[in-house]
């Protein structure tokens, strides 16, 4: 599903925003209450916003290949996080 489609559909289960050269996570993402899988890999993120905790249905989060240097321990232990190769 594209970012444009996701903005219009709150029932999104999977969202792939990889390879988008993102420096921040788009704010509409935090409104996707049904989101279960979020791929933010291969972007230019330096921070994972604590807004991620608003996504109560989230089960999989891929933040690999970004520039996130801080700890992401505030992410629920119920969420599988791939954060390989963050530098």
CA dist 87 and 71 (Å) reads: 12
Q: pTM for this one?
A: 0.84
Edge to edge, the sheet with strand 80-82 lists 14-16, 37-39, 60-62, 80-82
Residue 53 belongs to domain with CATH number: 3.80.10.10
One pLDDT digit (tens) per residue for the chain, 87 residues: 555 666 667 689 999 999 999 999 999 999 999 999 999 999 999 998 889 999 999 999 999 999 987 777 777 788 888 877 766
* Cross-strand partners of 81: 61
> What's the domain count of the chain?
1
Domain that holds residue 54: 3-82
Q: At which residue do the structure tokens 């599903």 appear?
A: 1
């Amino acid at each position: 599903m594209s970012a444009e489609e996701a903005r219009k559909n709150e029932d999104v289960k999977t969202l792939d925003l990889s390879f988008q050269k993102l420096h921040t996570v788009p704010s509409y993402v935090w409104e996707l209450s049904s989101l279960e899988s979020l791929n933010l890999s291969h972007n230019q993120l330096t921070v994972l916003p604590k807004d991620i905790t608003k996504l109560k249905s989230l089960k999989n989060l891929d933040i690999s290949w970004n520039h996130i240097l801080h700890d992401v321990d505030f992410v629920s232990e119920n969420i599988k996080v791939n954060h390989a190769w963050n530098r």
